[in-house]
């Protein structure tokens, strides 16, 4: 019984942490972009019942031709997502749009767009680090 209660408590803690996460709202995975252009990356942070303090956000892009094993991140200014419910009633989650340039001369083919999110969660608070990735194509 003690094991079961520990398992339930751990599951609730993990569920709370993942509820504090972010997701990439745009562009959609598989989107084709051009080298040298700016794209809008929408970072959404769904609402949660527990408190959190946003600490940092990193957005990066790397062509998978450059590094097949891992695509690294370039720093981007941290932000506090704002609710745009009045502007976009179809998306009630707070989100922030960032303009990210796909570097000139980026090889064509797939690339990894990554968002790294760091926050402090709960009454403690405790640190929470998350990475979200999607693949986009450079034409």
Residue 60's nearest CA partner among 50, 72, 78, 46 is 72
CATH architecture assigned to 2-138: Sandwich (2.60)
Q: What residue segments make up the domains of the chain, in order of their start?
A: 2-138
DSSP state of 82: B
pTM: 0.68
Distance CA 112, CA 108 (A): 12
Label residue 93 by pLDDT band (50, 70, 90).
confident
pLDDT tens-digit profile of 6-31? Answer: 443 444 444 444 456 888 989 999 99
Element (H, E) at 60: strand 52-63
Half-sphere exposure of 7 (CA within 13 A, CB side): 4
Instruction: Please give the mean pLDDT across all residues of the chain.
Output: 76
Residues 6+ apart with CB under 8 A from 21: 45, 46, 117, 128, 130, 132
Q: Are 101 and 41 a contacting pair, CB within 8 Å? A: no
Q: How far does CA 70 lie from the centroid of its chain?
A: 17
| pLDDT cut 70: percent of the chain above it | 66
Residues 6+ apart with CB under 8 A from 104: 35, 36
């Amino acid at each position: 019984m003690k094991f079961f209660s520990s398992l339930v408590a751990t599951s609730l803690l993990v569920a709370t942490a993942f509820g504090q996460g972010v997701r990439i709202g745009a562009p959609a995975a598989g989107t084709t972009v051009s080298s040298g252009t700016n794209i809008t990356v929408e970072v959404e942070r769904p609402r949660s019942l527990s408190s959190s303090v946003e600490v940092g956000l990193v957005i990066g892009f790397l062509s998978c031709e450059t590094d097949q094993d891992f695509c690294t991140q370039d720093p981007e200014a941290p932000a506090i997502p704002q609710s745009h419910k009045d502007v976009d009633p179809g998306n009630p989650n707070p989100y922030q749009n960032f303009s990210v340039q796909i570097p000139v001369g980026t090889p064509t083919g797939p690339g990894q767009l990554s968002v790294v999110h760091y926050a402090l969660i709960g009454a403690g608070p405790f640190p929470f680090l998350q990475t979200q990735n999607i693949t986009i194509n450079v034409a």
